[in-house]
Amino acid sequence: MFEISSKILDYFGISSDFSVIVVVLVFFVYGLFALTFASLFAGITSWYERRIAGRMQSRIGPNRVGYQGFWQWLADGLKCWFKEDIIPKDTDSVLFRIAPYFVFTGVLSTFVVIPFSPTIVGSDMNVGLVYIIAITALVVAGILMAGWASNSKWTLLGGIRSAAQMISYEIPVALSLIVVIIPAGTLSLQKIIQMQGGAPYNWFIFHNPGTFAAFFIYFTSALAEGNRTPFDLPEAESELVAGYNTEYSGMRFLFFLFAEWMNLYVIGAIATAVFLGGWRIPGIAYEVQAASLWLQFVGFIIFLIKALLLVNVIIWLRWTLPRLRIDQLMIMCYKYLIPLSVIMILLSVFFTVIYYSLPFLSLAVRIVLFILSLIVAGYFGYRVYFNIKYFPDKTYLRWMI
Amino acid sequence: MTLEERLNLVKRENEILLNMGPQHPSTHGVIRFIVRADGEIMVEALPVVGYLHRGIEKLAEQTPYTGFIPYTDRVDYLAAMFANHAYVMGVEKLLGIEVPKRAEYLRVIACELNRIASHLIALGSMAMDIGAFTPFLHGIRERELINDITEMLCGARLTYNYMRVGGVSKDIDDRIIKKINDFLDRFLPGFIDEFNRLITNNEILVKRCVNIATVSADEAINFGLVGPNLRASGVKWDLRKNMPYSVYPELKFEVPVGEGFRGEVGDSYDRFVVRVKEMEESARILKQAVSQLPEGEILAKVPKRIKPPKGEVYSAVESARGELGYYIISDGTENPYRVKIRTGSFSAMKAIHIKSQGCFIADLVVLIASMDIVAPEIDR
Amino acid sequence: MSFTNYLANIRNSVVSIFEGMAVTFSWMLRRPHTVQYPDKVDKGHELIKEGFRGILEVDVSLCTGCLACQRTCPIGVILVEVSKGTERYITRFDIDAAKCMYCGLCTEACPTNAIRHTKEFAYSVDDIRKLVLHYIKEPVKPYKPVKDATPDNFNAGRFVSEIVKNREKEYVEYEAPSVKIPDGGQTEKEKN
């Protein structure tokens, strides 16, 4: 945003006395944009997730409000807004009131460094990734606060589970990001995207076997950090009623859900930026894209599509998998994900060093990994085809049976 | 002894006293557990039963023999057909009535359909308690097809009231037989395999269930566990084989027992898998029963007013939740003198109390679900 | 835990999650089984099956006044009154639809199929007293069964139970019609 503000200052010829005001104004507008984007995303995802869940469970899902029930999220929001804001007796009322905002702010703050296109980004910090890992700690604080302040045993258990889980899973998140930082040599998200190419085999996920595995490690641990199934223990509805938000109602309850769904985009966007080439368009150099407004817009769409694909996968996982137990969650973190990501760091170092002396190997490894993932995707398609054929039921694809 | 002590509500050091239920998402009805937990690890979970006690056994003493059949539906609403069957068999024994062959076959068809429906709910809700929502709705979808069949067969979807003293209330026709065959065609290879791929073989479910609340064969017998819970512990005891009734001797089927599929014999995962296998066997029984269905009457000659001679009788069937027994005492009048119902869920509650000691709170949910308890069956 | 065990755990998790996701994705490509109930019902989809045990109705012209239904009902939701005298009249036939549990025992006891189940199942009313169905408006002479009658003979003339029609109307207090018996006697009701 600093670049855009300086451009505006130059364009209008505003003297440096007022430049602070303009910069603040630009940042304010961008903040509103990010907030609107995140809120719209959270709302629409809440509807979309229910529709997807319905299809997977061979039912219809919400379809009453508007076309295909699209405005359901707005109706739900209004309903929660008009509900009575109940603050139970004997709660720590100050903490109880502010806890949802901590969670909300913690997730929304990541939008400062998440880029939309080469120039549209809150702030291209040179420590962007560290900032993301640090700021999400606010979410832990908020959830623990909510669990403690509600003064109920179920919420307390949920809050404690959440604290243990999120603090543990920050380690594999950070370690798996380091795997990419080694070849990239920078912590800035924009620079990481710049270093990747537009074509899939130029992305960092296919850079070497280490980054390939690191993508999955990051994805898994980000799910756990965002309290999504199969790691949704803090709000495990069959065990802890509703976990840390049992006592909440109305708009405060909605803020937790807002944060959860916004977090989907955050997970998808970080994975896209770090592993999947971000807003790069195949065959177009970075300088060309940064100069043209249209190409920036195309980049924005590409970024969004990649992030939304990952969001789809997260939703899809949620409606497929059961939930882990708390000790298994910890075992998975400390016995599997952390050692594996350390190994991946070593692999990444090894390959990065080798690529300096043998540049042709770089392309070979990339293409091999890319073809490998295509084969896996093809096999997956075959399994889906097999499932439809094996259990004939009413289907949209009649020719398959 | 204070009231708190008697109700086991005294808080000890380093313990949380959690009140789980009567309204809780995973207690499967109105059951309450007093959970003493040390953090996530439970010291014990003491079941408190009686919230759904409706005095059905006492009601039997005021109701004529035929009039009590609808009440038996309400004992176990997920497997009402078996309750009908057990009670009606008892009254027939008292009266000494020979039931027509066709009626017996129809009873077996109805019961096995009901067993599949009941197990689908049990497996689905267990998966849901572990956190997977989709298998539950896939199970419900198949159960809905069974409900359609039972609706055509007897006019109701849940409280069937299908069986009568001396036979069944309605005959089957070709449309229903075609529906049953259609259902079996999609169920046996297709649905079961897909269900296994979706949830039974899922590593997270396996890890959640394996070696959780292992009940050894001796323990299972001592607890008085019955049905799939007993068989999961490796005891091959099925009333359909061991104390044959109805036309089960004429049908070929296996009795699946727990073999420690992924862990110890008798853990929660064995109870899950045994139910899946039992559904397969039920489908096989159905296939045979539908093809062997004889012609004939569906109702024996029964006096309009049923007045059994003095005496007492115990009749039991292998219900979806194990041995379901009706002990009926007749004093020669139109109403029974006493009816006692022996259900599987009640004895499972004791097993839950003992086996919950030392496991996680999340495991208690698995344990309750794997025992497949139904609240009205506990309390009657 | 051995190292092979460690690797097997990872393999099993990946393979089983992969298979599970293939199953759920395959369901994304299939039609839903549910129907949007009041708005859209699939063609050829029989919503209520034949023989469904819905709300009870009585064809009083077929009623023999034998009280078999009243006796079989386990919870006593049926009240039939028949006047005594040389000429018998059915003066009351009430069913409490709110208490009825749709077990179907009364319909089996009925020798002429006068009482039977409809396929109606939605009958919410604003006043619970409306759920007590009164089938006798005028005193009715009991039906004399013909010889060789089978229950199938009586299936004609099914009508939708009046509760569904009466849902919008005001509640009117019901009084069973009294019968003046020709020999100057009293109805059973007045005797009591």
Residue B160 inside a domain? The answer is yes
pLDDT at C157 over 50: no
Burial label for B341, CB within 10 Å (0-12, 13-18, 19+), is: buried
Residues of C in contact with B141 (CB under 8 A): 33
Burial label for C34, CB within 10 Å (0-12, 13-18, 19+), is: middle
Among candidates A335, A384, A394 on the partner chain, residue whose Cβ is nearest the Cβ of C25: A384
Residues of B in contact with A325 (CB under 8 A): 207-208, 360, 362-363
Give the tens place of pLDDT for each residue, C88-122.
Answer: 778 888 888 888 888 888 888 887 777 888 777 77
pLDDT at C189 over 60: no
Best to test chain C binding among A313, A341, A387, A397 (most C CBs inside 10 Å): A387
- Domains in chain C, ordered, with CATH? 56-147+155-191 (3.30.70.20)
Tokens of B327: 């002990």
Q: Which residue of B has its CA nearest to C33?
A: B141
Contact A309, A334 (CB under 8 A): no
Give the tens place of pLDDT for each residue, A37-88.
Answer: 888 888 888 898 888 888 888 888 888 888 888 888 888 888 888 888 888 8
Average of pLDDT values for B320-326?
87
Given pLDDT bands bounded at 50, 70 and 90, which one contains residue A375?
Answer: very high
Q: Subunits with at least 3 CB pairs below 8 A relative to chain B?
A: A, C
Residue B95 inside a domain? The answer is yes
Tokens of B32: 């309450």
pLDDT at C125 over 50: yes
> What's residue A395's pLDDT?
66
Residues of A in contact with B138 (CB under 8 A): 57-58
Best to test chain B binding among A227, A325, A335, A385 (most B CBs inside 10 Å): A325
Q: How far apart are CA A220 and CA B86, in angstroms?
A: 51
Residue B138 inside a domain? The answer is yes
| Residue contact A241–B24, C-beta within 8 A | yes
Secondary-structure percent of chain A, ordered helix, strand, coil, rounded to 5:
75, 0, 25
Residues of A in contact with C36 (CB under 8 A): 60, 63
Average pLDDT score over chain C: 75
Name, in order, each residue with C-beta under 8 angstroms of B6's C-beta and a sequence gap of 6 or more: none
Q: Does B190 touch chain A (CB under 8 A)?
A: yes
Q: Does A317 touch chain C (CB under 8 A)?
A: yes
Name, in order, each residue with C-beta under 8 angstroms of B256's C-beta and a sequence gap of 6 or more: B231, B274, B277, B278, B281
Average of pLDDT values for B164-174?
85
Name, in order, each residue with C-beta under 8 angstroms of C76's C-beta and a sequence gap of 6 or more: C70
Q: Which residue of C has its CA nearest to A388?
A: C26
Give the tens place of pLDDT for each residue, B41-89.
Answer: 888 888 888 888 888 888 888 888 888 888 888 888 888 888 888 998 8
Residues of B in contact with C104 (CB under 8 A): 155-156, 161, 169
Predicted TM-score of the model (pTM): 0.87
Which residue range(s) make up the domain with B245?
65-343
Element (H, E) at B325: strand B322-330
Residues of A in contact with B362 (CB under 8 A): 233, 236, 239, 323, 325-326
Among candidates C21, C26, C33 on the partner chain, residue whose Cβ is nearest the Cβ of A59: C33
List beta partners, residue B329: B312, B338
* DSSP assignment of A204-269: GGGTSHHHHHHHHHHHHHHHHHTT-TTS-GGG-TTTSTTGGGTT--HHHHHHHHHHHHHHHHHHHH
| Residue contact C32–A60, C-beta within 8 A | yes
- Give the gap in angstroms from C-alpha B72 to the nearest C-alpha of chain A: 30
| Residue contact B26–A161, C-beta within 8 A | no
Given pLDDT bands bounded at 50, 70 and 90, which one contains residue C152?
Answer: low
Give the tens place of pLDDT for each residue, A144-194.
Answer: 888 888 888 888 888 888 888 888 888 898 888 888 888 888 888 888 888
Given pLDDT bands bounded at 50, 70 and 90, which one contains residue C181?
Answer: low
Tokens of B306: 């049923």
Residue B374 inside a domain? The answer is no
Q: Could you tell me which residue, B13 or B254, shows the higher pLDDT? A: B254
Q: Could you tell me which residue, C187 or A99, shows the higher pLDDT? A: A99
Given pLDDT bands bounded at 50, 70 and 90, which one contains residue C164?
Answer: low
Contact B274, B228 (CB under 8 A): yes
> What's residue C172's pLDDT?
73
Tokens of B98: 């020979």
ipTM field = 0.83
* DSSP assignment of C3-66: HHHHHHHHHHHHHHHHHHHHHHHHHHTB--S---TTT---TT--SS-TT---SEEE-GGG----
Q: Does A52 touch chain B (CB under 8 A)?
A: no
Contact C71, C61 (CB under 8 A): no
Dihedral Cα A325, A58, A269, A170, nearest 10 deg: 0
Tokens of B111: 């019961």
Q: How far apart are CA B34 and CA B361, in angstroms?
A: 12
How many structural domains is chain B composed of? 1
> What's residue C156's pLDDT?
45
Dihedral over Cα of C90, C96, C97, C99: its sign: negative
Name, in order, each residue with C-beta under 8 angstroms of C78's C-beta and a sequence gap of 6 or more: C69, C70, C93, C94, C95, C106, C115
Q: How far apart are CA A338 and CA A64, in angstroms?
A: 46
HEC letters along B105-122: HHHHHHHHHHHHHHHHHH
| Residue contact A321–B204, C-beta within 8 A | yes
Residue B372 inside a domain? The answer is no
pLDDT at A28 over 60: yes
**CA-based nearest residue to C80, from C98, C60, C100, C99:** C60
> What's residue A379's pLDDT?
92
**CA-based nearest residue to A116, from A275, A277, A279:** A279
| CATH number, domain with residue B139 | 1.10.645.10
Dihedral over Cα of B21, B25, B26, B30: its sign: positive
pLDDT at B360 over 70: yes
Average pLDDT score over chain A: 84
